[in-house]
Structure 1
Amino acid sequence: MQGRVLVIAGSDSGGGAGIQADIKTVTALGGYAATAITALTAQNTLGVEAIEEVSAPFVAQQIDVVLKDIGADAIKIGMLHRKEVIETVAELFEQLDRLPPVVLDPVMIAKGGASLIAAEASEAIKSLLIAPHTHVLTPNIPEAEQLTGMKINSLADMEKAGRFLLDMGPKAVLMKGGHSEGAEIIDLLVSAEGIHTYSHPRIDTPHTHGTGCTLSSAIATGLAQGLTIPDAVARAIRYVENAIFEAPGLGAGHGPLNHGHTVGPFV
């Protein structure tokens, strides 16, 4: 087991996304997952039915006790939901002597279209987390549009939005192309070193619930294990692609991936 990853995110009762997907991903890639749960959701493959808040002080306490004892080689941030939680996490980060690489997946919209973030929280994410603390930002196209105010209709638009987000302060921005049209998905990693392009065939399946959570956790695990950002992204994309190929086909809606495809049965 190599690489400690602290995941700060919401819970998915259906197990396909959120903290549940994060723990599975980190474990399947050989890392150690610790968690700070920011919200509870009642959801399944058909959508999110309810969200139960976790108090901001308790979110901070979860982070604090883990870091003081177990530590972390990388931090993955997913669903934060409320401005108060974002402010509290940012304040705690400011107090740390050393902040490990932070992978921020700006979870804003569920696969079924439900909003997962309060309206005022978007600005707080930009000013308090992306600007000063983010190592790798991983927005999909709708999230990038919300963060930048741009419409993204082409690869050129993705690059433009990626550069706009890079100027906010992160070391790298992974612009995910899954919401674009076409038989091929193209993801762009935008950094000061230039553009890395990752292309892979689109898989015709409804079973893609939790792909964003899974990808960002896989990237965080790679960074925790000492991989460069481009190499961590490349491995994470391969992992997610195989997890989609081997999805178990559960549920009547957007089903979960097979996070355990790297793991064989214990005999």
Structure 2
Amino acid sequence: MKAISIENLDYSYKNGFEALKKINLEIGSGEFVAIVGENGSGKTTLVKHFNGLLLPSNGKVSIFGEDTRKSTRTYLTSNVGLIFQNPDTMLFADTVEKEVLFGLRNIDIEETKNRVDKSLKSVGLDNYKEKFPRYLSRGERQRLAFACIIAMKPKIIILDEPTTGLDARESRKLLDIAEDLRSKGHTIIIVTHSMELVAEYSKRTIVMENGSIFYDGPTRDLLSRRDNKLIKKPAITELSHLYDGILRLDNFSVEDIASELASIYKTRGGI
């Protein structure tokens, strides 16, 4: 059974704007999928259908086989966790520990403590339990928001522009946590403009354009397409295309060259 199945999804806002058009999509358990596209292309509108924040105007969205229009709020929130771009919209308790505790209901004391401890440790905040969340850095607050979701044990985790305002180091910390969860069977979906992170972490990329899916396939194939104007490719990929044309390295693909250049760049302290 697929984690997410979408059939002929259409969605229009109350003002009549048609945000999604005939979306057909399946995402399996344990996948790491990136959703990219220009502002207004429908990325966030699409993922809001995964946890029932929005319901289809037409078509069907199923989470582990259950239609979101017939699902309970409890079913959806227990299976799908959504981390927003701004962590401050999710944080309001007076300590880090209480923040994680907030979403844990109807669970015995021992299990609750275990979940809080494990989730904070997984994001590197286990020594910050008594700290006021607003005193944390932006990256730490984003990781705290992540811990709150992890503690609830959803099978699907959506990160909507999670690295906005973060430096490269904090961004990779966040995505490393996501990749670790994927390796344990969680489905990870990231909405982002950062093709550098997409290239590094996601094997599958969905490109949205004007409310429709323009591309859905392997990330490496997407980055190899020289004619694609909808995404901004990582600088290392553009450089690889340049080298490919200049040196005519017939025995190497663009991805091979990119990997080699990235290795050299990292060794010399550029990354």
Asked if these proteins are the same fold (TM beyond 0.5), I'd say: no
Structure ranking higher on relative contact order (CA contacts 8 Å, 6+ apart) = 2
Structure of higher CA gyration radius: 2
* TM-score normalised by L of structure 1: 0.31
* TM-score normalised by L of structure 2: 0.31
